[in-house]
Chains A and B, each alone.
Chain A
């Protein structure tokens, strides 16, 4: 399941792109390509387990 805070946008963060790119609405910036794998739940990655930004945002941060 994709992160609820993931959006695909073509502009933001002071940048514009021809193709929509993954955008983290928590950070208010475009995310790195590999982070997008976590955001989008690819390869058995999970934002709730693997993304420290999501965990901190929902109050579940820390180990």
Chain B
């Protein structure tokens, strides 16, 4: 993927990260938390142009939940309210053990895609999401057994090495699909040159998705559009629409991305087109 794909007018897959597990309504009251709220948000995001919804689950209190039962409630609510959107479950979970991390993979039906963190990242001052290779392999193996495509989450450039290592250890189906993530802490520094550098270091033939945290969501996803990549937006990654103004909804962020894509003459992929691109 690259600038040639932009020039060729290749469709862009917009992923909407609806809720996440790090912040909640205390950060933005529009963040959906209950299964019904997440389902409604998914439907609105799909209508605005999202082909994929990236899902987390929450407890009634808004806190993180990993259980299959809670993910089942969320995924059922999304399927009830959406037409054809692709469902992606998160397997991320700082502090949570493997037995907990694999539960989002065990819904019926299985999600078509699931995230797979490529290595460690820091949270707060005394907490690291370790993601050791053994855990990565175990999660990958469960995805493989259930026919779930892994979305390789690359939080920094070192994780590009880990993508290479996973490809050596496991026989991933093509196309490899990686999300390049930019922000603070142990994430890749959010700068356009670092997006270009990360793209250069992807395995040959890999597809990529661009994810910028906070104020970097708009510029880096716009750049992702220009260099032929796919993009992820949503309240999980960014609670503002513009400086000082909280976003009204996930759909608002998706709609802006779809408008940008249209202005830049890249068609927005339908879920069916996204399935073809990702070979789901």
Contacts and interface: CB of A to CB of B under 8 A. Distances in A.
Interface of A: 8, 13, 15, 17, 19-22, 29-38, 40, 42-45, 49-52, 55
B262 interface: no
B22 A21 contact: no
A33 B235 CA distance: 14
Given A15-B26, A50-B126, A51-B126, A33 B63 contact: yes
A22 B61 contact: yes
Interface of B: 21-27, 29, 58, 60-64, 93-97, 100, 123-127
Contact of B24 (A32, A42, A49, A55): A32
A36 B63 contact: yes
A37 B64 contact: yes
Given A13-B26, A38-B95, A42-B96, 16 more contacts: A21-B24, A21-B26, A22-B63, A30-B24, A32-B24, A33-B22, A34-B123, A36-B63, A37-B94, A37-B96, A38-B124, A43-B95, A44-B97, A50-B124, A51-B124, A51-B126
A33 B58 contact: yes
A8 B63 CA distance: 12
**For A17, A22, A32, which residue has the most chain B Cβ atoms within 10 angstroms?**
A32
Contact of B21 (A33, A40, A44): A33
Contacts of B29: 15
Contacts of A49: 126
